[in-house]
A and B are shown apart, each in its own frame.
Chain A
Amino acid sequence: MSQEGRFSWLRRILGREKATAAPLACRELVELVTNYLDGALTPGEHARVESHLADCPHCTRYVEQMRLTIRATGELREADIRPEAREALLAAFRDWKSG
């Protein structure tokens, strides 16, 4: 109890966001996922998300599925440049070289 009293001022400053912010609802969390995965949340918001995920298997699954989605999207192969376009550019390069 005395420890609580002695450092409460410090705890208040450090944990200000945590202390005053209401816990996240699932509906709010799904809107924060992109920023969360990009590391673009404030430390306070980040902590709120992690705290929610620790207790919510549904949101945990959601975030995992989002991660899978991003990874799978990264597997997409863009079409290669069309040969005609490549030829045209090579010709342009040779022109430029000799110019």
Chain B
Amino acid sequence: MGTPADSPLEADEVATLAALRAGDERAFVALVDQYHTAMVRVASAYVPSFAVAEEVAQEAWLGVLNGLQRFEGRSSLKTWIFRILTNIAKTKGMREQRSSPFSSLFTDLGDDESAVDPDRFAAEGQWLLAPTGWGDSPEQKLETAECQAIIHQAIETLPPNQREVIRLRDVLGFTSDEVCNALDVTETNQRVLLHRARSRVRKALEQYFREAGVG
């Protein structure tokens, strides 16, 4: 099965949990601000529209509230919240009858993709068209709105399974285990999808730097 072991409640989550159970509104709003957008993103991998994904996330929060007293803290709060979300998303996805069954989204990875165009290597495997430099201070260029837009666009055009993995891992900073829990994907598959996604984003940036005349 390959599900990673749950890590227990994080230190900062203990306080949050207590506050929620005590009916602390600010704690709830802070939690919502922290996770809601990510939850909508994850749900969007399973359901046909953004509007439905938003509904799923709302339902998930209700599930969280209703489950608060019963929650035993054997997993982290984050993992628990995203499990609730994923379960609702899958159920709703099935009902909305997506063209491909949701269960294969992260198990059927489709054809192999090369990280780099094979034509860029010689027969023996060494670089023919090696990567060109990205200029003197690529970090600064990469922080510009222009580059951020390119990365955003590259991610938006990824296949859904790659998109959700890179969004959770690299944009939102989920650990490998957290992603596997949230998306119910094996560690191996998660890494394959992340690899393909990152390769495509790098390619988009490479093109940008080349056209900008520094790469």
Binding site for B on A (CB under 8 A): 25-28, 30-31, 33-35, 38, 40, 58-59, 61-62, 65-66, 68-76, 78-81, 85-86, 88-90, 92-94, 96-97
Contact = CB atoms under 8 A, between A and B. Distances in A.
B66 A96 contact: yes
A84 to B, nearest CB: 10
B133 A92 contact: no
A73 B166 contact: yes
A48 to B, nearest CB: 13
B148 A76 contact: yes
Contacts of B170: 70, 73-74
Given A58-B131, A89-B58, A90-B29, A72 B191 contact: no
Contacts of B133: 61
B211 to A, nearest CB: 16
B114 interface: yes
Interface stretch (B8-16, B82-90, B102-110, B139-147): B139-147
Task: Identify whether the interface residues of A are mostly helix, strand, loop, or mixed.
Answer: helix
B40 to A, nearest CB: 8
B172 interface: yes
Determine chain B's interface SS by DSSP, over half rule: helix
A65 B134 contact: yes
A34 B194 contact: yes
Contact of B58 (A69, A73, A92): A92
B157 interface: no
A30 B36 contact: no
A26 B25 contact: no
Contacts of A27: 116, 118, 121, 125-126
B135 to A, nearest CB: 11
A31 B125 contact: no
Contacts of B131: 58, 61-62, 65
B37 interface: yes
Given A89-B58, A90-B25, A34 B143 contact: no
A40 B188 CA distance: 10
A69 B198 contact: yes
A96 B138 CA distance: 50
